[in-house]
Structure 1
């Protein structure tokens, strides 16, 4: 189960195409696209919109689903130095909200194909190093001191996500889109940069969290067993004991084929005693 939050469609588009997600019809404010257990949410720009989108999506999930959900925010960010190249991707290990002065510390991603990390500052409006640019907040070099990347959504995402999801499930990643020249990025440029990152990270995003255990007994073995025993009159207690034996077998033999009794012998079971003997023989084979 995975959820991916973007501010704008141009950031999300390459991921939507890879996932082949379809828009979800719902009564909420924000656009949600889904395929299977994977969701992509577009919030609109700004930390408030992002926080509200996280909250709205979280309320569509049960507590168990939240605990198993991988939750990412990806997007573009401006770099304060030309040493960071356009298109470079960074995981964020510290977020500072410049309005509230609060710091947030996302857990570091382990075993990712993309390994660069840096810090992020979230502002309430677009910022630039240039002077007197319409619709941009002009800041001096001194005001950018100690800052690597800047955006408008990171702190809103993380603060809201941490209210609903385990901290270890949450990650923030940003692509360098500009060097704060005071110009808005072109849609096609954003899509191109995001497509490159999506091609690398897509499989990482859709893969289960490593600490969320997938119960192969329930999802793989037991459906096969249910199909085999459908004409046998096993009691609920017998089924319960059989599942315990299968679990014992699987723990000792994680890659082995599950043993089944000879199919032809089922037709020869004429009494409860025959069934009990048949059943115990099967269970014994699982404990060898």
Structure 2
């Protein structure tokens, strides 16, 4: 099983043609196309629309089906760096929500024919480096420091998808469509860029997930983690996020020792800010 989320029809069109998918008649808001066990969902632009589309689709599946389905978000993204060429495809290994400053970590593809990876920042408005362009948010070079690609859906997709699907099943990939010149891409250009990668990625998307085994972290890794965090005041959300990161690490490093933060530092945590920094540092080490 596999599900593929796009923001707009022009991104999805080459994939719909390859899949020969038909519209699903349902009572929901979002367009869902299916062929057998494979689905393509179009959300509309913006992270809220994408998150709602993910939620609506997830509720069409049973809990067991959610464990077995591959869930991707593909689409176009603007590039901050001029050396990233138009049409280049990148897997996303880190997503930052520009509004909340939260970081998210999609699954890292290790066996794809596309090998480039980078980070993605999700904004609430289209971004440009130019000055005072209607409907665009103008940002300076300093404000864009550390930003590689930008979009409007990535963080909404991953935050919602991680509530319903295992983290290791979730993947994000983006095609460079512009260099933040403050112009919207033409429909035919988007279709051409997506068609160029679709032929190669299609077989990777419809292929089964590489894992179908007992979740070993529940019996081996997680008890160790629970012992370590016993005297830390982690919220349930933090524990949930940590377990996803532990699972991510174990699937990518089946024979490696699980990394833990420095024990003495744990004893010197004085504030919620200290705890949050400690926690995020630990999670980051699990995604290296």
With normalisation by structure 1, the TM-score equals 0.73
Does residue 1:127 correspond to 2:127, yes or no? yes
Distance 2:85 2:45 in 1: 23
The aligned residue for residue 32 of structure 2 is: 32
The aligned residue for residue 10 of structure 1 is: 10
Partner SS for 1:118: strand
The aligned residue for residue 186 of structure 1 is: 186
Which has more radius of gyration? 1
Distance 1:9 1:107 in 2: 25
Distance 1:49 1:22 in 2: 22
- Offset at residue 212 of structure 1 (A): 2.9
- Offset at residue 161 of structure 1 (A): 0.2
Q: Which runs of 5+ in 2 are unaligned?
A: 214-288
- Offset at residue 81 of structure 1 (A): 1.1
Distance 1:210 1:96 in 2: 27
Distance 1:105 1:26 in 2: 32
- Offset at residue 132 of structure 1 (A): 0.6
Q: Which runs of 5+ in 1 are unaligned?
A: 214-288
Partner SS for 1:10: helix
Partner SS for 1:25: coil
Distance 1:107 1:18 in 2: 24
The aligned residue for residue 42 of structure 1 is: 42
The aligned residue for residue 136 of structure 1 is: 136
- Offset at residue 191 of structure 1 (A): 0.3
- Offset at residue 106 of structure 1 (A): 1.1
The aligned residue for residue 198 of structure 1 is: 198
Q: 1:66-85, aligned counterparts within 5 Å?
A: 66-85=66-85
Per-residue displacement from partner, 1:42-82 (whole Å, max 9, x unpaired)?
A: 00000000000000000000011000000000000000011
Per-residue displacement from partner, 1:95-132 (whole Å, max 9, x unpaired)?
A: 00000010001121111010100000000010100001
Per-residue displacement from partner, 1:228-256 (whole Å, max 9, x unpaired)?
A: xxxxxxxxxxxxxxxxxxxxxxxxxxxxx
The aligned residue for residue 88 of structure 1 is: 88
With normalisation by structure 2, the TM-score equals 0.73
Q: 1:131-170, aligned counterparts within 5 Å?
A: 131-170=131-170
Corresponding residue pairs, total: 213
Distance 2:66 2:110 in 1: 21
